[in-house]
Structure formats: C-alpha cells, structure tokens
Amino acid sequence: MRMNMKLALICVFTCLFWLSPAQAQENDGIATGVLITPKAGHEETLIKAITEYHHWMAQFEGHFEYTWYEILTGPHTGKYMARSGNHNWADFDAEYDWQEESDKVFASNVAPHIESAQRMMTEEMNDYSHWPESFDGYTHFTVENWYIKTGHNSKFRRSLKKIVDTLKANDYKSYWGFFSVVSGGHGGQIQLVSANKGWADMTDADPSFYDIMSKELGGQEAFDNFMADWGSTFKTGNNWTVRLMPEASDYGK
C-alpha cells in the first residue's frame, strides 16, 4: 500500500513537471493544480525539498513552472496548492528524455514528505476575468467554488458578463479570474479567484460592488431583483484563502 501511494505521487507530480511551458499569449488557458497534504511534521522539510527540486528541474527544457501556495483558511488549512497555468491541451502530451531521471529524483527527495495529492485541471474564462498588468506585490488569493445549475448555463453567463463589463467600465478597484473546472471536480463547477496585496487589501473597494451595480441597474430594488434572478442559476460552495510561497515557487531565477 505504501509503495502504491508513492508511485501515485510520482505520477501526479513528475508527469506535471514534464510538460512544455506555454507562451504568455495564444494558449488554451489550461491550468493544472495539485492539492498537497504534507506528512505530519514534514512541512518544513517538504518545502525545502520542493524548492531544491524546482532549482534542479530548471535545467531541463520543457518543464512546467509551478507556483506554490499555503492554504490559510477552510478545511484544508495548512496544506499546499501547487499550480501551473497558461497551457495548451497539447502540452500534456509532451515527452522528454529526462523524465525517467526526474522520476527518480522526485521519488527520493520529495515524495517521502507527502501524505497525499489531489489533482484538478481548469480552463480560464477569459471574457469574465480581469487581472492586473503585473502580479508584483499580490500575495493573497481567495478562491470560491460555484456550481451552475443544470439548464442555467446561458443565463448564468449572460448575467455574469453584464456584471463583469459594468465593473470594468466603472474602474472597480479589484482583480479577479473565473475558471471552469474541466477535470477533477464536479459538473458545472467554476472557481472565482481574486487577487489581494495582503489581508488589508480585502476590504471592499470604493465605489463598492453594490454602488456600481445599483447605479447601473437603476436603484436598490432593481439591484436586488437582478441578483436574486442571477443567484437562482447557481449555488455556492466552499471558499478559502491562500498565501503565495515565493521561495517554494522559485526556479533559480
């Protein structure tokens, strides 16, 4: 049983590192993320090991670069999330001659510190996202899971597009991205991720979401009716906050 778990971890992680990096432009917007549970008492050792592994992997052409986050709230508090984004689907078919060696290094140096790992793949909904030109200084990210009800996808997206377009047009002081969970989640699942420069940055912007939308829609009653109608198309799930781990995300650059 222990050997099977070790082999599974190698498959989850080293297969991900084999993939060729996508260009910043013109990609399918595919991301792969891994929820990582460290073995009890191995937290610091795991981070040291994965940092060294990233530096070693940097020498190989075609590797993915993963950003690591510590989960600060919710049922997975204390675990980690590793994510690599901006990929094409075709990237996941890539094969390299250094794969066998990377398997062995990962199995020896990293896998012994991991209790379990769960993988998910997402596709960014670009028309609904609004990111800063640079992520410098952004350290905390909130993640919310939403589930679109069967038969309500078109209505959900139309209303969401109206919200997004209105916020952008009124220079809403916040940044976010929407992602469709395409594998490893549930049917109709999407994730809303917002970027913040620490906890204090999570206070509502001025003007607020309510201020902007109620003005656009024609008042409080119209706003309440719009939100109730749109809210009937989906249900909300778990949410949590993660903190960027710069050292664990570094590839020697």
Question: Could you tell me the CATH number of the domain that includes residue 29?
Answer: 3.30.70.100
Q: Sorting pLDDT into bands at 50, 70 and 90, what band is 26?
A: confident
Is it the case that residue 25 has pLDDT exceeding 70? no
Is it the case that residue 56 has pLDDT exceeding 50? yes
- 105 and 154 in a common domain: no
Is it the case that residue 3 has pLDDT exceeding 70? no
Q: Sorting pLDDT into bands at 50, 70 and 90, what band is 11?
A: very low
- 174 and 110 in a common domain: no
Give domain status of residue 57, yes or no: yes
- 81 and 36 in a common domain: yes
- 153 and 56 in a common domain: no
Domain ranges, residue 140: 126-240
Q: Sorting pLDDT into bands at 50, 70 and 90, what band is 55?
A: very high
| Average pLDDT score, the chain | 91
Cα-Cα-Cα-Cα torsion 182, 83, 143, 134, nearest 10 degrees, comes to -120
pTM of the model: 0.88
Is it the case that residue 216 has pLDDT exceeding 70? yes
121, 136, 161 — which closes off a domain?
Answer: 121
Q: What is the spatial distance between Cα 86 and Cα 208, in angstroms, rounded to a whole number?
A: 30
pLDDT in tens, 170-210: 999 999 999 999 999 999 999 999 999 999 999 988 999 99
Q: What is the spatial distance between Cα 154 and Cα 160, in angstroms, rounded to a whole number?
A: 10
Low-confidence winner among 7-11, 117-121, 243-247 (lowest mean pLDDT): 7-11
91, 121, 151 — which closes off a domain?
Answer: 121
Is it the case that residue 153 has pLDDT exceeding 60? yes
Give domain status of residue 18, yes or no: yes
- For the chain, what is the domain count? 2
Give domain status of residue 137, yes or no: yes
Is it the case that residue 67 has pLDDT exceeding 80? yes
- 133 and 228 in a common domain: yes
- 111 and 131 in a common domain: no
Is it the case that residue 132 has pLDDT exceeding 80? yes
Using alpha carbons, select from 204, 192, 195, 189 the residue that is nearest to residue 164: 192
Percentage of the chain with pLDDT > 90? 88
- 116 and 6 in a common domain: yes
Give domain status of residue 205, yes or no: yes
Residue 253 is predicted with a pLDDT of 79
Give domain status of residue 179, yes or no: yes
- 158 and 228 in a common domain: yes
- 98 and 189 in a common domain: no
- 105 and 133 in a common domain: no
Is residue 106 within 8 A of residue 7, CB to CB? The reply is: no
